[in-house]
Structure 1
Amino acid sequence: MAGSVNKVILVGNLGADPEIRRLNSGDPVVNLRIATSETWRDKNSGDRKEKTEWHQVVIFNDNLAKVAEQYLKKGMKVYIEGQLQTRKWEKDGVERYTTEIVLQKFRGELQMLDARGQGGDAGEVSYDRGGGGGGGYQRSQGGGGRSSEFGQSGPAQDRGGGGSRGGFGRDLDDEIPF
């Protein structure tokens, strides 16, 4: 196989409100903490067990940073698509490392899958990097199927080329149907 792939997809809940900083250039950087959990039944005791993993996400994409700053709140369920990067620094003479999911300037995706704690507004806001000509923001209203555009990236477009998720956010359910 030629080449390699570095792609991470997470669906989880925000453990805190987004932390927004600015670089010296004025560009925004957003840090998110996302929890993913798995549950199972213990074979011996029959008790329900749960394991939670915490993930550090860093957003360098200006448009995604705007969405995160305006709409994301602690507890919300989000879909994140980015890539793994390991960062190294030195503190008190000791080399330290951290591995993060990074959404670069022209890569990555962020979707709100619910709006828990948002006054009952269960819409979906997403920004897809777009295929050729910049994507756009799109907000879907629960139930009506109506959408309205906002943002400066141009109109919301059909993603085409296999990029559409076909209502992934609305159909996601934690319950197994059997």
Structure 2
Amino acid sequence: MINRTILVGRLTKDPDLRYTPSGVAVCNFTLAVNRTFTNQQGEREADFINIVCFKKAAENVANYLKKGSLAGVDGRIQTRSYEKDGKRIYITEVVAESVQFLEPRSQQQNRGQQPDPFANDGTPIDISDEMLPF
């Protein structure tokens, strides 16, 4: 049997680090992963995948990643359930065996602080036809 998943996406919020009663670190976060196709309006949709990691990986994720960070996750899909108020709640999540930080820390810290050099400020761009590669 094979149960393996590899995802690349951005964190939708800051990771949530907790510890079990026995002191094991557990970190939960959600990864927004773009789909490879567009919808009927031409927009790219995303799936929001719940991730959980343990021990040192959990502490590293909590210490170095934040909302918007680009990360790669290698792990397995797990389902579990519990009962709350008489209803059965089912959860599907990825248990991360490895989490890769996919952008430099300096880039993560500067995101949102520097103006976008490619933003359209309404002024025409002066480029000659000879400068275009096509």
Give matches, 1:66-145, under 5 Å. Answer: 66-103=59-96, 108-114=97-103, 115=105, 116-119=107-110
Match of 1:15 in 2: 12
Q: Which residue type is aligned with residue 11 of structure 1?
A: V
The alignment's TM-score, normalised by the length of structure 1, stands at 0.57
For these two proteins, the number of residue pairs brought into alignment is: 108
Instruction: Please list every run of at least 4 consecutive aligned residues from structure 1 whose deviation after the TM superposition is greater than 2 angstroms.
Output: 38-42
Q: Deviations over 1:65-95 (max 9, x none)?
A: 1211210010011000111110110011111
Higher RCO (CA 8 Å, separation ≥ 6 residues): 2
Higher strand share: 2
Q: Deviations over 1:72-126 (max 9, x none)?
A: 01001100011111011001111110100013xxxx1110111453137xxxxxx
Alignment gaps of 5+ in structure 2: 112-134
SS in 2 for 1:118: helix
State which of 16, 23, 28 in structure 2 corresponds to 1:26.
23
Q: How far off its partner does 1:52 sit?
A: 1.3
| CA–CA separation in structure 1 for the residues paired with 2:69 and 2:15 | 11
Unaligned runs of 5+ in 1: 121-178
Residue matched to 1:40 = 38
Task: Specify the alignment match of 1:162 in structure 2.
Answer: none
In percent, how many aligned pairs have the same letter?
A: 34
C-alpha RMSD over aligned residues: 1.6
> Aligned equivalents of 2:66 and 2:22: distance in 1?
26
For residue 141 of structure 1, what is the aligned residue in structure 2?
none
Q: Going by fraction, where is helix more abundant, 1 or 2?
A: 2
Matches of 2:52 and 2:17 in 1, distance apart? Answer: 10
TM-score, structure 2 normalization: 0.74
* Letter of the 1:66 counterpart: E
Pairing 1:64–2:62 present: no
